[in-house]
Amino acid sequence: MSYNHEEIEKKWRAYWAEHNTFYCDTHDFSKPKYYVMDMFPYPSGEGLHVGHPEGYTATDIVARMKRMQGYNVLHPMGWDAFGLPAEQFAIKQNQHPESFTRKNIAHFKDQIQSLGFSYDWSKEIATIDPSYYKWTQWIFAKMYQHDLAYVADIPVNYCPELGTVLANEEVIDGKSERGGYPVIRIPMRQWVLRITRYADRLEKDLSSLNWPKSTIEMQKNWIGRSSGVEITFTIQEHPEQSFRVFTTRVDTLFGCQYCCLAPEHPLVKTLVTPEQKAEVEAYCDAAAHKSDLSRTSLEKDKTGVFLGVHAINPINGEAVPLFVADYVLGSYGTGAVMAVPAHDARDYAFAKKYHLPMVEVLKGGDISKAAFEGDGPHCHSSFADGLNIADAKRVITAKLEALGKGHEVVNYKLRDWIFSRQRYWGEPIPMVQTSDGKENAVDEKELPVVLPELDDYRPNKDGKPPLSKAPASWLHTTWHGESAVRETNTMPQWAGSSWYYIRYIDPQNENALADPKLLEHWLPVDLYIGGQEHAVLHLLYARFWHKFLYDIGVVKCKEPFARLYHQGMILGPNGEKMSKSRGNVINPDDIVHSKGADSLRLFEMFAGPLSDAKPWSTTGLDGSYRFIERVFRVVDDPTFSSRLTNENSGELDTSYASLVKKVTEDFEALSFNTAIAQMMVFVNDCYKAKSIYRPYWEGFVQMFSCLCPFVGEEMWQRLGHNESIAYAPWPTYDPAKLTKNEVTIGVMINGKARDAITLAKNATEEEALTIAKASEKTKHWLEGKTIRKVIYVPGKILNLLIG
RNA sequence: GCCGGUUUGGCGGAAUGGUAGACGCAAGGGACUUAAAAUCCCUCGGGCGAAUAACCCGUGCCGGUUCGAGUCCGGCAACCGGCACCA
């Protein structure tokens, strides 16, 4: 009998299911809690990808270790099940997207269970369950009541050919991803969430998180906090009129040569002179029809039109021309800027194009060649002359404040979140419009607003949502006795994933998102692993909802995910991203069948650091399989198992202590590849040893079972245990066994490694020197030389400087 | 352009500032076998060499700090990811 992965995996999968091995009693507060979760998958028709098991294995290892360490571990899984592919499938096949989605979920679940993850399936949730989206809708309704949701006419990507609105991700270079038809921007009624109200907290609280630096930076950049000064300019020709600009470089105010309004700025229409009117209107019309993309793809070409009026610079009373220019964004700051050609690259380009003057107000560059954006002493700046940027900002701001013409402000790049989609397969937005045109949130007791069945899931040609064709019995309802019409927009896919970590804690609760006591105990999530592609959107949206729930007292902590980690991609064997078109896709089912789930898990963890992209390697997978066989042989093959003894000869003491220490630390640090390397070292040592102390081998099997749970359980049973290995107490080690009395250290001569000596760990410098001098190699190097200096670091190095 | 990350043998990768290359893959050799597979053991950065003798070179490139740098500091390059007229 040898290692038969199929038989072993089948046996233990059934055992875990039958014994409910991984059930987590969330009400049991007697043990410390550990909440570890994965980003839940979208159950596509394609089935599981080999990338999925990577992150899932990582969380599973940690979950298993924590269980053995005595934690009450919550390790759930669920389904992010609304989404476009199911809707498109439904349109094509003219059947409800739910049946397709449920089938995919069943397939995903079977695949995931074949991989031996220790999920507590009693916590399983799907975002498409009405019992789940009831609470997604509840959160939206609460947000509306707290003035965080509003309706606005927002330009959307509309594709006339397809007759539908598209998400930004579905628009590539101004054309629809499917079909390649032109996409235009037209305003449409949309629900919007006021995430901007949370911009400061979303930024500030990033510092409290144990998250990858890159992700924190991405979120910071996305939020885009920027502090500067708002300055009021009055119009020379209409002294009663004024506008405000935002600048981060108030120190250059004396260099302002013109000002620009965005085409959307309300003053454009009212200020423009009759002579300029035609040209300005044509310019603004053109800008309005440009998509964001084509407006920004113009990049270097800065254009604008003079409005015929002038603005007065409050710092020196100078009148400067006022333009409309589409390089100024209507949606950021005040929608107006002061232009300092000498010290801003964009203003420089614009001034060059229209032959506008420029004045250098800060020395250090050459403005005949380019704008100078560095620091230096100011000039042509009156009382700010000679000051650097920071000091000039201070004195000029103070002056503006004294004049009542300026004050410090903070701006954010972050925009409000367009939350509605003109699609069928999403959560209905729980709003109704009464005949007075007012928007009203559906009462909690009326939730959920269940998606109605439709005859036809296609979007309307006019871009109206599919739900507008819902039966009248659904569309027409009442609100507090008044007749009302239901909202037909649905929520984006991000909605359900913005709070699912809360629902896992208490998934059956019918009266609340979850029991408050449980929430207080279990949140935040201790470890959250998923792809970096969610670094901004999902992770920012979830933080936003969490902070809102904090504000209304639902959760007690400020952040949902204390520790976050991103797994790297599994690349094809050729080192390229896996894709059907490249023909380098590896199917996990094939691997589970040929080499077993344990081999797949072990390989993916051993291939390299968790966060790195790693190429698939068939020979590497074979290596993992061989290692499992090598391990299994110790209990399975009598020539090895006969070496297991109950008496400790001591020969594996150091190796075992190193193993336990290293594996415990590395698992905690998610450094699985090095933990596995140490396990291999230990197994190699066991192979060489005359006898293997049984408790050491059992400790090894426990740690190994976190990686390879099927074969781990099998070995545990063969070692004589009747209970699952999952709750066996985590191995400990005697630190004294780690400190060998003798160590080998390097001997350096003038900083170059020349020799190695073995000596007592705590040997003195004199002793080390004596031993080194007795060594042939060192003796050779010292011949005829004088030792000028000795650097001795006990246990590390002996460096002799000679001359 | 800006912000992050990466760069170490034939390959994946190890190295609290202390003998670079752990562990694995591939390759080569040996044992076992009638033979093969499997398994077990050994070798395996480059150069010079008969050598598992000695020496020299070596962690993308150029400099610096240090007794000592893959690791710290300054500059540069290439690649990957994100953002991109945000005033």
Q: How many CB atoms lie within 10 A of CB A90?
A: 23
> What pLDDT, on the 0 to 100 scale, is given for residue A291?
54
Average pLDDT in the A105-133 region? 98
The answer to whether residues A514 and A506 touch, using CB atoms and an 8 Å cutoff, is yes
Question: Which residue's alpha carbon is at the shortest distance from the C1' of B40?
Answer: A687
Residues whose CB is less than 8 angstroms from the CB of residue A473 and which lie 6 or more positions away in sequence, other chains included? none
Task: Give A605's pLDDT tier (boundaries 50, 70, 90).
Answer: very high
How far apart (Å, rounded) are the C-alpha atoms in residues A696 and A737? 13
> What pLDDT, on the 0 to 100 scale, is given for residue A295?
53
Residue from A443, A425, A417 nearest A138 by CA: A443
Q: A453 — phi, psi (to 5°)?
A: -80, 145
> What pLDDT, on the 0 to 100 scale, is given for residue A14?
98
Tokens of A431: 């709003």
Residue A300 pLDDT exceeds 70? no
How far apart (Å, rounded) are the C-alpha atoms in residues A376 and A252? 11
Task: Give A298's pLDDT tier (boundaries 50, 70, 90).
Answer: very low
Using C1' positions and the CA of A749, the closest nucleotide is: B67
Using C1' positions and the CA of A248, the closest nucleotide is: B87
Higher pLDDT, A779 or A629: A629
Q: Which position has the token pair 């359980």?
A: A713
pLDDT in tens, A334-364: 999 999 999 999 999 999 999 999 999 999 8
- What's the full length of chain A, in residues? 803
Question: Which residue's alpha carbon is at the shortest distance from the C1' of B85?
Answer: A327
Residue from A174, A173, A168 nearest A156 by CA: A168
Provide the 3-class DSSP secondary structure of residue A690.
coil
The answer to whether residues A286 and A354 touch, using CB atoms and an 8 Å cutoff, is no
Residue A165 pLDDT exceeds 90? no
> What pLDDT, on the 0 to 100 scale, is given for residue A385?
95
Distance in angstroms: CA A159, C1' B86: 28
Question: Which residue's alpha carbon is at the shortest distance from the C1' of B80?
Answer: A613
Distance in angstroms: CA A373, C1' B29: 66
Average pLDDT in the A158-178 region? 69
> What pLDDT, on the 0 to 100 scale, is given for residue A230?
96
Which nucleotides along chain B are within 7 A of a protein C-beta? 3-5, 12-16, 18-20, 22-26, 38-41, 54-56, 67-69, 80-87
Distance in angstroms: CA A2, C1' B33: 20
How far apart (Å, rounded) are the C-alpha atoms in residues A8 and A715? 10
Residue A7 pLDDT exceeds 80? yes
Higher pLDDT, A305 or A181: A305
**Dihedral, CA of residue A699, residue A701, residue A702 and residue A708, to nearest 10:** 160
> What pLDDT, on the 0 to 100 scale, is given for residue A285?
86
Distance in angstroms: CA A169, C1' B78: 30
The answer to whether residues A663 and A696 touch, using CB atoms and an 8 Å cutoff, is no
How far apart (Å, rounded) are the C-alpha atoms in residues A495 and A127? 9
Using C1' positions and the CA of A687, the closest nucleotide is: B40
> What pLDDT, on the 0 to 100 scale, is given for residue A741?
74
How far apart (Å, rounded) are the C-alpha atoms in residues A229 and A410? 8
Average pLDDT in the A50-55 region? 94
How far apart (Å, rounded) are the C-alpha atoms in residues A709 and A116? 7
How far apart (Å, rounded) are the C-alpha atoms in residues A452 and A715? 52
pLDDT in tens, A193-223: 999 999 999 999 999 999 999 999 999 999 9
How much of chain A exceeds pLDDT 90, in percent?
A: 73
Encode A719-757 in three state secondary structure.
CCCCCCHHHCCCCCCCHHHCCCCEEEEEEEECCEEEEEE
ipTM: 0.95
Cis preceding linkage at A560, omega within 30: no
How far apart (Å, rounded) are the C-alpha atoms in residues A323 and A307? 5
Distance in angstroms: CA A681, C1' B36: 30
> What pLDDT, on the 0 to 100 scale, is given for residue A296?
52
Distance in angstroms: CA A572, C1' B9: 23
Q: Which of A10-24, A426-440, A769-783 shows the lowest mean pLDDT across its residues?
A: A769-783
Distance in angstroms: CA A571, C1' B80: 13
How far apart (Å, rounded) are the C-alpha atoms in residues A420 and A417? 9
Mean pLDDT of all residues in chain A? Answer: 92
Residue A294 pLDDT exceeds 60? no
Residues whose CB is less than 8 angstroms from the CB of residue A563 and which lie 6 or more positions away in sequence, other chains included? A209, A210, A211, A526, A527, A528
> What pLDDT, on the 0 to 100 scale, is given for residue A172?
62
Question: Which residue's alpha carbon is at the shortest distance from the C1' of B1?
Answer: A345
Distance in angstroms: CA A154, C1' B37: 69
Residues whose CB is less than 8 angstroms from the CB of residue A799 and which lie 6 or more positions away in sequence, other chains included? A747, A748, A749, A751, A790, A791, A792
Using C1' positions and the CA of A216, the closest nucleotide is: B4
Predicted TM-score (pTM) of this structure: 0.94
